[in-house]
Amino acid sequence: MANHLHDFLIHLGDNALILGHRLSELTSHGPVLEQDMAMTNIALDLVGQTRNIFQVAAKLQGNGATEDSIAYTRDATSYKNILLVEQKNGDFAKTVLRQFFYDAFNYHAYQRLLKSSNKDIAAIAEKAIKEITYHLKWSAEWVIRLGDGTEESNSRINAAIDDLWPYTEEMFKFTDYELACHDEGIFPDIHGIKAEWDEEVKNIFAEATLTVPEDGWMHDGGKRGVHSEHLGFLLAEMQFLQRAYPGQQW
Amino acid sequence: MVITKEHIYDILEKVQDPEVPVLSIIDLGVVRDVVLAEEGVEIIITPTYTGCPAMDMIEVGIKSTLQDHGVEKVKITTVLSPAWTTDWLSESGKEKLRGYGIAPPQGAAKSKRALFSEESGIICPQCNSTNTEMISQFGSTACKAQYKCLDCEEPFDYFKCH
Ligand SMILES: [Zn+2]
C-alpha cells in the first residue's frame, strides 16, 4: 500500500527499532556495568516506542497486520530508517556519537510531533519525549566527557566524527512522504529542525572541545529503502526466529 | 451482586507491580479509569515507560485477579495520553517504596534538559542521610536510577521523577 502516513509511521518506527536493536547488541558487552545498563535501558525505550508506532501502522494497514508482522517479515528494501542508525556500534565513542546525533534530531522532531494533527502520533510523542530527553542528556554528556577527556578518548571520538558525519544530512533531506505529512500538519514545522539540531551540536561540541566538520559528500537513501550492507546482516539476526518459526510467541 | 466502581478498585489494589511487588497498580497510578458497562468492565491503563515489560504482566494480573473475584468480562484498554508521571504515585505507595529499600521520588516531575544535572538531596532509604550521590541515571528497571549513600556507603535504587 502507498500512503504517506503509513510510510511516515514505518520510517519513525524503523529508526527506533534499528537503533534499539543495535544498542541491544551491547547488552552484557558494555564497557562498565552502569553504561551497559544505560544502553540497555535506552534500547528498551526505543523498542517500546517502536511497538506503539507499529501498532498504529498495523491498524492503518489492516489485513491482519500486527506490530510483529511489520517488524519481522519485511525485507531490507522495505525499511525506511535513516542510514545513521544501522551503522555498526564500533567502539564506545562511535556508539555514543551515533546516539547523540540521533537523539538531538529526535528531541527536536518529537517536540513537533507533540503538536501533530494525528492524535495517535501526538500521544506517542507525549509519552516518548520524556524518554528521549533522558537519552539526549546521556549521549550529550558522554560526547563532552570523551571529547574533553584523555588524548585517547578525544582521538576516538574524532575518528567517530569522521565516520558518522557523512550520515547526518539524511535526517534533514525530507522525502515525499515526510513533506506530505508536513502539509497535513502531521509533522509540523519540519524545516525548523535543522537549525535547532545545528545549534545543539555546535554547543555540545564546543563544550567537548570538538570541531564541527565541514559538510562534504553525504550519504542518503535509507528513508527510501536504499540501505548500506549492514542492514541485511542486522535483519538476518533480528528476524531469525520469526522467519524460522513463523508466529512463535513467548 | 451489584458491582460498583469502588468494588473494582478494591480488587485492583490486590494486583501487584511485577517489578516492585510492594506496589499495587493503584499505588503506581497506572489505572486511569474503570468503566462499568452491560458487556462487562473496562479497565483503562497507561504504561509507565513505553518499553516497560511489566505492562503485559500487569494486564494478565488484572484479568486473573478480577476473575478470581467473580468478575468475568474484562476489557483492558491502554491509553498513552496523558503520559504517566510519578506525580500520580500515591502517598501510601511512596511509604511502601521506602520500606522496601527504594527511595521514592522527591518533588514533582519536570523536564530535565540540563546537562550533568542530577536530583540532589535524595534521602537514603537505609539511614535517612541526604548525603547521597547519583551513580547512573539508568538503573535495574526503566523507572529507577542508581544512587549511593556517602554516610552508610550503601548503594540504593531511586524511583526517579518522571
Ligand atoms: Zn545511607
Number of compact structural domains in chain B: 2
**The predicted structure's pLDDT at residue A1:** 47
Note whether B10 and B72 are same-domain residues.
Answer: yes
CB–CB of B50 and A51 under 8 A?
yes
**The predicted structure's pLDDT at residue A2:** 56
**The predicted structure's pLDDT at residue B108:** 79
Q: What is the CATH number of domain A3-244?
A: 1.20.1260.10
* β partners of residue B149: B132
**The predicted structure's pLDDT at residue B111:** 60
Please answer whether residues B106 and B123 qualify as being in contact, where contact means their C-beta atoms are separated by less than 8 angstroms. yes
Note whether B66 and B10 are same-domain residues.
Answer: yes
**The predicted structure's pLDDT at residue A130:** 94
What angle separates helix A119-147 from helix A193-207, to the nearest 10 degrees? Answer: 20
Note whether B13 and B74 are same-domain residues.
Answer: yes
Residue A69 CA, ligand 1 centroid: distance in Å:
49
Q: Residue B85: count other Cβ atoms within 10 Å of its Cβ.
A: 17
**The predicted structure's pLDDT at residue A219:** 96
Q: What is the mean pLDDT of chain B?
A: 92
**The predicted structure's pLDDT at residue B130:** 95
Tell me whether residue A62 is exposed, middle or buried, using C-beta atoms within 10 angstroms of its C-beta: 0 to 12, 13 to 18, 19 or more: exposed
Euclidean distance between CA atoms B28 and B52, whole angstroms: 13
Q: Is the pLDDT of residue B117 over 90?
A: no
Q: Report percent pLDDT > 70 for chain B.
A: 98
Note whether B91 and B151 are same-domain residues.
Answer: yes
Note whether B140 and B91 are same-domain residues.
Answer: yes
Mean pLDDT of the region A82-104:
98
pLDDT-derived band at A118, boundaries 50, 70, 90: very high
Euclidean distance between CA atoms B147 and B136, whole angstroms: 7
Q: Which amino acid is at A23?
A: L
Q: Is the pLDDT of residue B113 over 80?
A: no
In chain B, residues 17-56 whose CB comes closer than 8 Å to chain A: 47, 49-53
Euclidean distance between CA atoms B97 and B23, whole angstroms: 7
**The predicted structure's pLDDT at residue B38:** 87
Note whether B68 and B100 are same-domain residues.
Answer: no
Helix ranges (H only) for B101-146 are: none
Q: Is the pLDDT of residue B114 over 90?
A: no
Note whether B91 and B111 are same-domain residues.
Answer: yes
Asked if A59 has any chain B CB less than 8 Å from its own CB, the reply is no
pLDDT digits (tens, 9 = 90+) for A123-156: 999 999 999 999 999 999 999 999 999 999 999 9
Q: Is the pLDDT of residue B78 over 70?
A: yes
* Domain ranges, ordered by start, for chain A: 3-244
**The predicted structure's pLDDT at residue B3:** 85
Interface predicted TM-score of the whole assembly (ipTM), two decimals: 0.89
pLDDT-derived band at B112, boundaries 50, 70, 90: low
CB–CB of A46 and B79 under 8 A?
no
Helix ranges (H only) for B37-121 are: 54-68, 91-100
Note whether B104 and B72 are same-domain residues.
Answer: no
**The predicted structure's pLDDT at residue A134:** 93
pLDDT-derived band at A190, boundaries 50, 70, 90: very high
What pTM does this model have? 0.94
Q: Is the pLDDT of residue B109 over 80?
A: no
Q: Domain span at residue B25?
A: 5-78
- What is the nearest CA distance from B26 to chain A, expressed in angstroms? 20
pLDDT digits (tens, 9 = 90+) for A43-79: 999 999 999 999 999 999 999 999 999 999 999 999 9
Mean pLDDT of the region A191-202:
98
- What is the nearest CA distance from B7 to chain A, expressed in angstroms? 30
Closest CB from B80, B115, B139 relative to A127: B80
Q: Is the pLDDT of residue A202 over 70?
A: yes
pLDDT digits (tens, 9 = 90+) for A216-246: 999 999 999 999 999 999 999 999 999 999 9
CB–CB of B137 and A52 under 8 A?
no
Euclidean distance between CA atoms A219 and A132, whole angstroms: 25
For residue A140, what is the enclosing H or E element?
helix A119-147
**The predicted structure's pLDDT at residue A247:** 87
Note whether B108 and B69 are same-domain residues.
Answer: no
Mean pLDDT of the region A86-101:
98
Note whether B59 and B104 are same-domain residues.
Answer: no
